[in-house]
């Protein structure tokens, strides 16, 4: 009598997700320290994106100078 053997427990296949930075295939696995990004570059790029927007400082050096005050004559 042969009992039906359950399927061999196969290791969870690496999931592939879409990298939110470049849209490319990213490995969603513990070995990918930059998930859901595909690489460190994409991760940093994403962080840098909002950082630039947040910490963007526009320095306007509009130093036209004061108009010469005309002395009152009279």
Residues that bind Zn ion (CB under 5 A): 19, 21-22, 24, 38, 42
Nearer to Zn ion, 20 or 51 (CB): 20
Supply the minimum distance, in Å, between the C-beta of residue 62 and Zn ion: 40
Supply the minimum distance, in Å, between the C-beta of residue 43 and Zn ion: 8
Nearer to Zn ion, 27 or 38 (CB): 38
- Burial classification of residue 71, based on how many CB atoms lie within 10 Å of its CB (0-12 exposed, 13-18 middle, 19 or more buried): exposed
**Pairing outcome for strands 25-28 and 15-18:** antiparallel
Supply the minimum distance, in Å, between the C-beta of residue 11 and Zn ion: 25
């Amino acid at each position: 009598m042969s009992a039906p053997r359950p399927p061999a427990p196969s290791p969870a296949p690496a999931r592939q997700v879409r990298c939110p930075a470049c849209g490319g295939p990213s490995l969603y696995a513990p070995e990918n320290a930059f998930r859901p990004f595909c690489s460190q570059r994409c991760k940093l790029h994403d962080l840098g994106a909002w950082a630039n927007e947040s910490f963007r400082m526009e320095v306007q050096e509009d130093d036209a100078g004061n108009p010469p005050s005309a002395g009152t004559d009279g």
